[in-house]
């Protein structure tokens, strides 16, 4: 009986510790703020990390730049919309693979894929 009570006490303590730690990040709610003719949106993952940022028109169409992030905060995509239509060049990031997808008339017209194998820092000194 003592072991059961001790086990329940440990489980309860762990749950309380997680709940207190999670309050800092898990309580983030999606936000929507009207900014002129657009509604700016910030959407969050269940863990409180930013998932997406972008804008909607008042007619509920995606518009402008949308940026997506995974649950760890890594950027996964940058997309462009014009009144709900996919436009321009989108970028997708997955580990060391980067894809560039170009849209024309809301359809894919070109796809380029790169593998990042080397990182170099370049500085211009005056």
Query: What's the structural domain count of the chain?
Result: 1
Note the pLDDT of residue 3: 55
pTM of the model: 0.71
Domain membership of residue 36 as a residue range: 28-115
Q: How far is CA 90 from CA 31, 50, 71, 85, in A?
A: 24, 19, 20, 13
Note the pLDDT of residue 28: 78
Per-residue pLDDT of the chain (126 residues; tens, 9 = 90+): 555 554 445 455 555 554 445 555 556 799 999 999 999 999 999 999 999 999 999 999 999 999 999 999 999 999 999 999 999 999 999 988 999 999 998 899 999 998 877 767 666 666
Q: Report yes or no on 91 lying in a domain.
A: yes
Q: Report yes or no on 43 lying in a domain.
A: yes
User: What CATH number is given to the structural domain containing 48?
Assistant: 2.20.110
Note the pLDDT of residue 114: 85
Q: Report yes or no on 51 lying in a domain.
A: yes
Q: Report yes or no on 53 lying in a domain.
A: yes
Q: Report yes or no on 9 lying in a domain.
A: no
Note the pLDDT of residue 6: 47
């Amino acid at each position: 009986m003592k072991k059961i009570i001790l086990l329940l006490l440990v489980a309860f303590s762990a749950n309380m510790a997680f709940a207190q730690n999670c309050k800092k990040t898990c309580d983030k709610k999606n936000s929507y703020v009207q900014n002129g003719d657009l509604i700016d949106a910030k959407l969050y993952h269940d863990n409180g990390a930013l998932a997406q940022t972008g804008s909607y028109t008042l007619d509920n169409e995606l518009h402008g730049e949308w940026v997506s992030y995974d649950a760890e905060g890594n950027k996964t995509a940058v997309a462009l919309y014009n009144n709900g239509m996919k436009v321009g060049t989108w970028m997708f990031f997955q580990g060391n693979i980067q894809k560039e997808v170009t849209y024309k008339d809301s359809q894919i017209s070109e796809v380029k894929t790169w593998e990042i194998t080397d990182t170099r820092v370049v500085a211009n000194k005056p």
